[in-house]
Structure 1
Amino acid sequence: MQKETYKGKKILITGGTGTIGRQLVQRLLKDEPSVIRIFSRDEHKQYEMNIDFQAHSNQLRFLIGDVRDQQRLMRAMEDIDYVFHLAAMKHVPSCEYNPFEAVQTNVIGTQNVIQAALVNGVKKVLFTSTDKAISPTNTYGATKLTAERLISASEYQKGSKSTIFSSVRFGNVMGSRGSVIPLFKKQILGNGEITITDPEMLRYMMTPSQAIELILQANEVAQGGEVFVLKMPVVRIADLAEALIETVSKKYKLNDEVVIKYIGLRPGEKRYEELMTLDEQLVALESENMFIIPPSFQGKPQSLERNITELEMNPISKKVVIDWLYDESLI
């Protein structure tokens, strides 16, 4: 069914040159779309991606643009069937020190995507959010929460338009650009010292392939306004560091001891993340591999107790983490 969804269709991916964007393009090409437009503001990344995907040059179009620029988005979305909105400022410290820049990209940029999709009659728009949008303590999380609300609210503000809007909520994507795995690996190979903010830090983790499947599965079943959340395991960051020390040292035959240094939480950072608020857990639906949070405007009454599996913060073992690293070729 999924292959037929995108066969012969026109797709736009904002932020399409990022880690998830590139893998999403690679995955979607198997479904034989008519064209995939890759919309981003980084000319060099587009240049590199164009070379890497040269075999599919007849299906790919690279558009320089910024989601802050509504007119450019309007043009980019002409005749588009499906939009995957991945573009964002995503680094917590950067958003803390440049809060209005984060608002312009993550909030105003999302509203621009919504407006352009409605004007151009796009079939579906899927937005990628984050677990940091739950009870946010930083600018990044607050902007993503606001963007989630904009996406859901567009469902009942679109009038006679038929565009369907929905969101997926990511945890930490293992190995994505700027994430902790490439950083730790660089530190191990560089100065032999890993820096961790807090020894008790826990994070929900998902593999890149899981992120792609969540996007495609959610977009397939979305009816409008939902937030889809993958069932993800919890990883202790200190365990991840130890797993990387073990695997990277083995691969590169490193003999020197690697030291773990604790440096304290960064501005806006949390020790523990959440996948859903308690209120969301009382209305959420559950499938085999994900939770589905219905839009609040549907007025679904809250249960007095959860109807879904209880979310537990029990970290997986270091052995499972090591298996993941090898399975996803992240070493």
Structure 2
Amino acid sequence: MLNGKKILITGGTGSFGKKFTEMVLTKYPDIKRLVIFSRDELKQYEMAQMFPPVKYPQLRFFIGDVRDGERVKRACEGIDIIVHAAALKHVPIAEYNPMECIKTNVFGAENVVNAALDCGVKNVVALSTDKAAAPINLYGATKLCSDKLFIAANNIKGSRDLKFSVVRYGNVLGSRGSVVPFFLGQRKKGALPITHQEMTRFNITLEEGVEMVLHAIEHSWGGELFVPKIPSYDIMTLARSIAPEIDHRIVGIRPGEKLHEEMITETDALNTFDCGKYYVILPTLPNWSLENWVSTFNAKRVPEGFKYNSGTNDSWLDETEVRRLVKLHVDPNFIV
């Protein structure tokens, strides 16, 4: 699928970008070019040590910020596929610095759309978040705006052979700044801060996130928003799994946090289809035949009133499974 293709990933030095690079170079050794676009030269230098140019001559590192439209356009010259992973994603930081979050997550998304339209790109997949569904914090609101920009871009592509789609998923296990690495670090301090004992979250691994993006690259028709079927965990199960021997201290929900996350709201369900491994939220007015799409993917409309919420999910991680996932995907030396 990707052999012979030229791909650019924004935010390419982040947790997702590194895992995407690792998996793509392994699965598609004949990829023509993979451009890592990010603004931090130190992270690019460190990533280049992980993927040395002698072994991976198809890899390129391109310094730039998605806020800079001209730089994004330059990076996209000759590119076939864009994976847009760049974002300011930390909820409390976004609440305190709202305009900085808007500049990256909204204006940056628009710059990627314009670069794709101007540079002959064929396929764009943008990463979203469960916090974009019925958002209550600024980060979620900016990602909802970003989702709308990418989906609506299909309406202005004209005769271009170009499609835009979005993937939305929950908390990535072990990603930089997420709860599992934080809890692992707090084990040494003798007390684990818990925001709320009833809090729940969806859970996905980096590998599953990359596979979902690859699925969207291969199967999107343009305008879809893909949502994975993944398990939930509650925060107390996570705490007991990682640090059962220390105190758990309730500190209260942080600004902009929800008790439970949603990935599909009851309103979204009006345009949502079950496609087996994934749910797909379709645009209200797709620019292709809905009947043909449904037939191609054997898609079935979700029931009226359906919603996909981490607190009412029908799939849950228990302590044994949490420990297995932490050891496998986060810390191979993890022992409880």
Deviation string 1:271-321 (CA, Å, 9 cap, x unpaired) is 0100101122232111221101111223979x7943979763354322222
- The residue that corresponds to 1:137 in the other structure is 136
Structure 2 Cα separation of the partners of residues 28 and 308 of structure 1: 35
Q: More deviation in 237-246 or 292-301? A: 292-301
Deviation string 1:204-261 (CA, Å, 9 cap, x unpaired) is 1111111111111121100001000010111101211111115xxxxxxxxxx41111
Structure 2 Cα separation of the partners of residues 159 and 270 of structure 1: 39
Deviation string 1:32-78 (CA, Å, 9 cap, x unpaired) is 21111000011111010001111534111111100000000010000
Which residue of 249, 255, 264 maps to 1:261? 249
- Any residues of structure 2 matched to 1:161-310 within 5 Å, and which? 161-189=160-188, 191-246=189-244, 257-298=245-286, 305-306=303-304
- The residue that corresponds to 2:322 in the other structure is 321
Gaps of 5+ in 2: 292-300
What is the TM-score with the length of structure 1 in the denominator? Answer: 0.91
Structure 2 Cα separation of the partners of residues 160 and 307 of structure 1: 37
Structure 1 Cα separation of the partners of residues 18 and 55 of structure 2: 13
**Identity of paired residues, percent?**
43
Q: Would the aligned equivalents of 1:284 and 1:308 in 2 still touch at CA under 8 Å?
A: no
Structure 2 Cα separation of the partners of residues 280 and 298 of structure 1: 15
Flag the 1:310–1:132 CA change in 2: closer, same or farther, 3 A.
closer
Structure 2 Cα separation of the partners of residues 162 and 90 of structure 1: 31
Q: Would the aligned equivalents of 1:124 and 1:219 in 2 still touch at CA under 8 Å?
A: yes
- The residue that corresponds to 1:252 in the other structure is none
- Tell me, yes or no, if structure 1 residue 6 matches structure 2 residue 2: yes
- The residue that corresponds to 2:125 in the other structure is 126
Structure 2 Cα separation of the partners of residues 231 and 124 of structure 1: 24
Counterpart residue type for residue 320 of structure 1: E
Secondary structure of the residue aligned to 1:298 is: coil
Structure 1 Cα separation of the partners of residues 145 and 93 of structure 2: 18
Flag the 1:310–1:274 CA change in 2: closer, same or farther, 3 A.
closer
Secondary structure of the residue aligned to 1:296 is: coil
Q: More deviation in 320-329 or 191-200? A: 320-329
- Tell me, yes or no, if structure 1 residue 53 matches structure 2 residue 54: no
Counterpart residue type for residue 53 of structure 1: F
Counterpart residue type for residue 131 of structure 1: D
- Tell me, yes or no, if structure 1 residue 83 matches structure 2 residue 79: no
Q: Would the aligned equivalents of 1:205 and 1:233 in 2 still touch at CA under 8 Å?
A: yes
Structure 1 Cα separation of the partners of residues 167 and 100 of structure 2: 23
Structure 2 Cα separation of the partners of residues 93 and 261 of structure 1: 20
- Tell me, yes or no, if structure 1 residue 34 matches structure 2 residue 32: yes
- The residue that corresponds to 1:92 in the other structure is 91
Structure 2 Cα separation of the partners of residues 91 and 326 of structure 1: 25
Deviation string 1:66-92 (CA, Å, 9 cap, x unpaired) is 000000001000000110000000000
Q: Would the aligned equivalents of 1:50 and 1:57 in 2 still touch at CA under 8 Å?
A: no
Structure 2 Cα separation of the partners of residues 233 and 81 of structure 1: 33
Gaps of 5+ in 1: 247-256
Q: Would the aligned equivalents of 1:285 and 1:308 in 2 still touch at CA under 8 Å?
A: no
Q: Would the aligned equivalents of 1:197 and 1:264 in 2 still touch at CA under 8 Å?
A: yes
Q: Would the aligned equivalents of 1:132 and 1:274 in 2 still touch at CA under 8 Å?
A: yes
Structure 1 Cα separation of the partners of residues 172 and 255 of structure 2: 21
Structure 2 Cα separation of the partners of residues 237 and 9 of structure 1: 41
- The residue that corresponds to 2:298 in the other structure is none
